[in-house]
Structure 1
C-alpha cells in the first residue's frame, strides 16, 4: 500500500498520483487539506522522510509570510503549526512502508517503490 498526501490543485501532486497509478500501486490518497494529519501523524511521516518539520514547509505561502517568517519554533511547535495550517506542508509526500519521499520531481517516488 502506498499513501500519497495529495493536493489536487498542485500539478506536481497530480503528476505523482498519475505516475503511481501507472505503476499499478495500491493507493491510499489523503487529501491533506480536507483530512489534515495530526501533529503525531506528521511526525511519523517526517521520521520516514528523515527530515525536520522546517525542511518541509512551503515558505512561499501567504500564511507563512504573514505569520511565521523570521520566527523560531521547536520541531513540536512546527508540527502543530502544520497541523493547523496544512497548506504549509510540502506536497506531494508519498509513503510506502517505512520509507517516504517528496514527489518533486514526480519520478522521485520511484526510489521507494
Structure 2
C-alpha cells in the first residue's frame, strides 16, 4: 500500500491536473492542498522544503507576475522568498507531491513515478 500523498494543487494548472490523473492511475487518491485558496504558512513551507531537500528558490516560479513585480531573484534571501510565497502563493511552483517522507516538484507530471520506484516504468 502506498504512503499517504498530498498534492499541492491548482485546478487551473494543466500539470496539476495531469499529476492528479497519474496518481489516480496508480490507485493513489491524494489529499489536495489548494495553496491558492488557503496560502501556506512559513512553517508549512519550511517543512515542505525539508521533505523536498530543496532551497526556497527551487520552489519559486520566476515567470509569475508577482515574482517579477516584487523584484525577486536568485539573490533574494531565502527567508524573504519564503515570506513572499506566503503572501503571494501564485509564486509557488506546482504541482508538488509529497508521499510519506518523500516529495518532488512534478514538472513534468510524469516525474511522479520517481516516488514509486518499484513501478517506475509504469507511467
TM bucket, shorter chain: over 0.9
Q: Distance in 1 between matches of 2:69 and 2:93?
A: 18
Match of 2:13 in 1: 10
Number of residue pairs aligned between Structure 1 and Structure 2 = 113
Match of 1:87 in 2: 90
Alignment of 1:54-73 (within 5 A): 54-70=57-73, 72-73=75-76
Q: Distance in 2 between matches of 1:44 and 1:70?
A: 22
Alignment of 1:16-95 (within 5 A): 16-70=19-73, 72-95=75-98
In structure 2, stretches of 5+ residues that fail to align are 117-123
4+ long deviations beyond 2 Å? 68-74
Q: Aligned match of 2:105 in 62, 86, 102?
A: 102
Greater relative contact order (Cα < 8 A, sep 6+): 1
Q: Give RMSD over aligned pairs.
A: 1.4
Larger Rg: 2
In structure 1, stretches of 5+ residues that fail to align are none
Displacement of 1:78 after TM fit? Answer: 1.4
